[in-house]
Structure 1
Amino acid sequence: MIRTAALVATAAFLSVAASVAAIAANSPVAATFKSPAQVDIGTVQVDETPSGMRLRLHLRGLTPGWHAMHVHENGKCGTADFADAGGHLGHDHAAHGRMSPTGPHVGDLPNIYAASDGVANAEVFSERLTLSPARVLPTRGLVSGAAIIVHAKADDDETQPSGNAGARVACALIP
């Protein structure tokens, strides 16, 4: 039990150290999106900037139309419904959605659009996210060690707790 705890602590330390090193080197962090069947369906590149996070993503195999995207609190994509990713990052500090008077969650991101061929290419920015543990605040969440989830439908930016966005259809673990 103690050995397991020590291994978990070491892994967490190395993950944080790698993220801090990436910021210091101004290098992006990359992750792969998985479908509920655990098939690779895209990538995301996360870059730290002085004022927040830039995410560049490419996904395929989505239904055409708008899709919600959120950062979820747990870096897990192991179940078919991605429920192990937990709730939105920062859900304990604010209500969901940019239209909510007490929102948004730090993990709320803009909707993305998949073309008629199911491909979505997007670049989004959030001043509420960081890769650096030193920059975390109640209004700025640590994306390192979290999951980025793409949903089946668009986020309406106000329905609690997740914008009426539907099923989780893609998941990427951010190292």
Structure 2
Amino acid sequence: MVKFYSTTRLFSIETKVILTQTDTTVGFLSQNGTKLSHIKSRSSKKPFIKVYTNFQALREDNIRVPNSKKNLIRRRKKTTFIVKHKSFRVAQTTLHSSVLRKLKWNYSTSANEQGKEFSRTFCEEKADIIIEDKNRFCQNRASVLFKINNKKIKRLR
């Protein structure tokens, strides 16, 4: 494993695929959706969840959340929301990684082959950067998924 004390060697981090323990499960993170689609062997038309590091980044991306649902989004942890066909989650990184702190958002997907369980060898082959802490990788439950609009909330997962 290679340790980086400076991110200057990691030019164009936006195009890299990062394997890390997310707030919910082991996942691939990247700002390049087509690269993630290729790794997961899934349609490029199927959107990914966009994970923001804070609420300011969410506001800068012009996602309009209904006023009546803003407190729900602020208070729910490990929860993904769909608003007007855009799926997102706000998750402060639990890893103290300078690489992840520099990125305000990432596309996120589980680190496994389509329809299969987590395989460390598959993930290590596909990832450009691996960020792992002393607790190792553990596959947990996926995030809860809600579709919300002005009037109602529907739980999808």
Q: TM-score scaled by structure 1?
A: 0.28
Higher strand share: 1
Q: Which has the higher helix share?
A: 2
